[in-house]
Amino acid sequence: MKLTLGFSPCPNDTFIFDALVHHKIDTEGLEFEVVFADVEQLNKWAFQAKFDVTKLSYHAFTYCVNDYALLDSGSALGNNCGPLLIKKPETILTPKSKIAIPGKYTTANMLLGIVFSEYQNKVETLFSDIEDAILTNEVDAGLIIHENRFTYQDKGLEKVKDLGKFWEEETQLPIPLGGIVVKRALPLAIQKKLERVLRKSVEYAFENPNSSANYVQCYAQEMKKEVVDAHINLYVNDYSVSLGKKGEQAVEMIFEKSGKASSSVFVDP
The CATH number of residue 98's host domain is 3.40.190.10
Which pLDDT belongs to residue 113? Answer: 94
Of 171, 200, 223, the last residue of a domain is 171
Q: Give the Cα-Cα-Cα angle 8, 253, 75 (nearest 5 degrees).
A: 25
89 shares its domain with 165: yes
Residue 267 resides in a domain:
no
Q: Which residues pair with 181 in a beta bridge?
A: 54, 70
Alpha helices in 136-243 (DSSP H): 163-171, 188-207, 213-218, 225-235, 238-241
34 shares its domain with 69: yes
Q: Residue 41 is part of which domain span?
A: 2-78+175-258
Q: Which of 176, 146, 199, 150 is nearest to 38 (CA)?
A: 146
Give the pLDDT band (50/70/90) at residue 103: very high
Which pLDDT belongs to residue 111? Answer: 94
Indicate left, alpha or beta for 137 from its phi (over 0: left) and psi (-120 to 50: alpha).
Answer: left
Helix (H) or strand (E) holding 122: strand 122-124
- HSE-CB at 102 with a 13 A cutoff on CA atoms is 30
pTM attached to this predicted model = 0.94
Give the pLDDT band (50/70/90) at residue 223: confident
Number of domains composing the chain: 2
Which pLDDT belongs to residue 177? Answer: 94
Give the pLDDT band (50/70/90) at residue 98: very high
% of residues, the chain, pLDDT over 90: 86
Tell me what the pLDDT averaged over the chain comes to. Answer: 94
Residue 269 resides in a domain:
no
Q: Higher model confidence: residue 131 or residue 151?
A: 131
Which pLDDT belongs to residue 222? Answer: 63
**Which residue numbers are catalytic?**
146
Of 136, 171, 206, the last residue of a domain is 171
- From 2-6, 93-97, 228-232, 261-265, the region with the lowest mean pLDDT: 261-265
